[in-house]
Structure 1
Amino acid sequence: MSENPLLRVEDLKVNFPTRKGLVEAVRGISFSLGREKLGIVGESGSGKSMTGRSILRLVSAPGQVTARRLEFDGIDLMKASESQMRQIRGQRISMVMQDPKFSLNPVMRVGEQIAEAYRTHQNVSRDEAKRQALDMLSAVRIRDSERVYRAYPHEVSGGMGQRIMIAMMLIPDPDLLIADEPTSALDVTVQLQVLAILDDLVSQRGMGLIFISHDLSLVASFCDRVVIMYAGRVMEICDAKNLAAAQHPYTRGLLNCLPKIDGGGSDLPILRRDPAWLEHGA
């Protein structure tokens, strides 16, 4: 990572006031990101997706986002106006949501949605936007891009829908892409294809990637660094290549829960939660 990170997050908190008290979804996490692939891993409810949404200030009321520092490429995102954030969203920072079927407009052809995303940030003609959209579909390895351009979301598979979403988020050429479990609903073969696309695009464009996932082994093999989250806090940050030697007891517990090929018929170990983990996070 460079000495001047693309993204700095310090003491980020996301709270939701309820009738029963304050729900702390994210509890003061800190990390930085260069032009690299950073994986965020944790159980459901650990605050992974909420962290991604809070970076883009997409947490709806009554959610409350605070941070000592939330800085992107020298821009203070906490102090940026809503009009500034509209310029940043999509053009500088893009986010791929988990399920493309719910992210794409069901009554609009997918190619027109990609072209619209480009025209939102670039003053170009419809013909130029279509040409760029077709090029982007080819860049994410979709064959017969003309046919797919004319298709509706229900006419494409889950894997192709995810590629379309990646194309839509990358067509403005952002500096940072947040991918929220982009492979969770895909089979293993398609997962590898999507990861290869992301890897190529990140290296070619020199962008940063936050890859949110439940799959610890997948993140370890794909990302440069890994952030381990538990109950809204960061437990450990380590190089992906050294993940097997991680020291935090929660990370060790997650690693021990991974199924082993030579495990025979033995039961998977149970990860017993320990309140002390919250006092010894990163």
Structure 2
Amino acid sequence: MDGTEPLLEVANLRVSFPTRNGVTEAVRGVSFTLGREKLGIVGESGSGKSVTGRSILRLVPAPGVVTADRLAFRGEDLLAASDRRLRAIRGRRIAMVMQDPKFSLNPVMTVGRQIAEAYRVHSGAGAAEAKRRALAMLEAVRIRDPERVYGRYPHEVSGGMGQRIMIAMMLIPEPDLLIADEPTSALDVTVQMQVLAILDDLCGQRGMGMVFVSHDLNLVASFCDRILIMYAGRVVESCRASELRNATHPYTRGLLDSLPRLDDPRAELPVLTRDPAWTKEDGAREGGA
């Protein structure tokens, strides 16, 4: 792979679910490319951002159906990949950090054993080497006294530490791409900044690409290189993070204007009225490279 070839190519991605009232499309024609950079996907609850992240790894549960004109990782077609090939890609080449660690960590295994197991599965290393790498990874995510934390169970660690442990587990195989699905939404502001600093450092050190899913527009704008704004399953605007304040789509402007003002906390926030044109084929601005 040369320096110009994208890590991830997504073209006309669609995810649909059958319901009693017919087929519902949760993701409708999403397109973007990703290099070794941080891409933020922002939208309100139900906009399809998390489903977009899961569909990249084909983790959308049945009866959901994922289709795309192209869904490729380093040139390899993920939609055509066999289950065996996907198992080799998941974790080792593309990792995903879920929103809440208490639903992702095994409650009957120590956190250290879980991290070490992730390394052994993907590398074939022995138990001693896996433990050594797991302790080094705990230190890399800035956990004090890794030896002590290694032997703890998930219920014995805080939410912030649990999220760091999840990051350590996902990054220990040294993937090329990390998908982070609202990894800081359950954390207080101080811990949020600590987790983001860890992710930023590790991305820079390892040259990873990242898809960062969030509903916090300010957070994404300060952390990511590019931003996709999603509404009702579609990308309505794509821009550089530094250009977000110049966004032109009414929905993006509405999100920006709805942020509380510190200089005037009593200012009335605007009400965002849904425009049917935003969900039509010719009404959405598809995100590109």
Q: Same fold (TM over 0.5)?
A: yes
For 2:112 and 2:89, the matched residues in 1 are separated by: 23
1:101-140 matches, within 5 Å, as 101-140=102-141
| SS of aligned partner of 2:33 | strand
For 2:61 and 2:277, the matched residues in 1 are separated by: 31
Name the counterpart of 1:164: 165
Name the counterpart of 2:217: 216
Matched, 1:21 2:22: yes
For 2:191 and 2:151, the matched residues in 1 are separated by: 22
Normalised by the size of structure 1, how large is the TM-score? 0.98
Residue identity matched to 2:193: L
Matched, 1:152 2:173: no
Residues 261 and 267, structure 2, Cα contact 8 Å, conserved in 1:
no
Query: Offset at 1:74?
Result: 1.1
**Stretch deviating more after TM superposition (272-281 or 158-167):** 272-281
User: Gaps spanning 5+ residues in structure 2: where?
Assistant: none
For 2:69 and 2:17, the matched residues in 1 are separated by: 18
Residue identity matched to 1:147: R
| SS of aligned partner of 1:10 | strand
For 1:45 and 1:36, the matched residues in 2 are separated by: 25
Query: Offset at 1:117?
Result: 0.5
Residue identity matched to 2:248: Q
Name the counterpart of 1:76: 77
| SS of aligned partner of 1:51 | helix
For 2:273 and 2:112, the matched residues in 1 are separated by: 47
Name the counterpart of 1:44: 45
Residues 39 and 212, structure 2, Cα contact 8 Å, conserved in 1:
yes
- CA displacement 1:27-70 (0-9 Å, x = unmatched): 01100100000000000000001001100001111100000000
Query: Offset at 1:276?
Result: 1.1
**Alignment: residue pair count:** 281
- Provide the identity percentage: 72
Name the counterpart of 1:4: 5
Matched, 1:247 2:252: no
For 2:52 and 2:122, the matched residues in 1 are separated by: 25
For 2:61 and 2:16, the matched residues in 1 are separated by: 11
Name the counterpart of 2:208: 207
For 2:263 and 2:116, the matched residues in 1 are separated by: 49
Query: Offset at 1:269?
Result: 1.6
| SS of aligned partner of 2:30 | strand
Query: Offset at 1:278?
Result: 1.6
For 2:265 and 2:35, the matched residues in 1 are separated by: 41
For 2:206 and 2:4, the matched residues in 1 are separated by: 19
Query: Offset at 1:3?
Result: 3.1
Query: Offset at 1:102?
Result: 0.6
Query: Offset at 1:265?
Result: 1.1
| SS of aligned partner of 1:169 | helix
Residue identity matched to 1:219: V
RMSD value over aligned CA atoms? 0.8
For 2:269 and 2:149, the matched residues in 1 are separated by: 43
Query: Offset at 1:267?
Result: 2.4
Name the counterpart of 1:274: 275
Matched, 1:90 2:120: no
For 1:3 and 1:273, the matched residues in 2 are separated by: 39
